Amino acid sequence: MKLVLVAGTMTFANEWYQNHDINWRIPVATVLAAAMVAGVGKVSPAGGAGLGVMALIVAAVTPLNGKSPVQQLQTVVGSPVTTNQKQKVT
């Protein structure tokens, strides 16, 4: 359940950061999905944990209305170092 809440929070924050608008459907869907995963977790703890991990991965890499949270984080942090560039070690 906690992983689904983290995934929903990440999606909500990414939507707000990109559009500067609050989409209230995301928290409602997150709470409903977390309740469903908690129910599955009561029956099968490993199944609930697996669903939570899948939800977190999908929320992190799926672009919705722009960039995915992973893509957005990469643009905020900076561009990656290419293999042709050499770093000076001091």
Q: What percentage of the chain has pLDDT greater than the value 70?
A: 87
What pLDDT, on the 0 to 100 scale, is given for residue 29? 95
Structure confidence by residue, pLDDT tens digits, 11-42: 999 999 888 889 899 999 999 999 999 999 99
Across the chain, which distance is largest between two alpha carbons, in Å?
56
Cα atoms in the 13 Å half-sphere on the side-chain side of 29 = 11
Please check whether residue 38 is in contact with residue 48, taking contact to mean a CB–CB distance below 8 angstroms: yes
Alpha helices for the chain (secondary structure H): 2-19, 25-43, 45-61, 69-77
Neighbours of 3 (CB within 10 A): 20
Rounded Cα distance, 48 and 51, in Å:
5
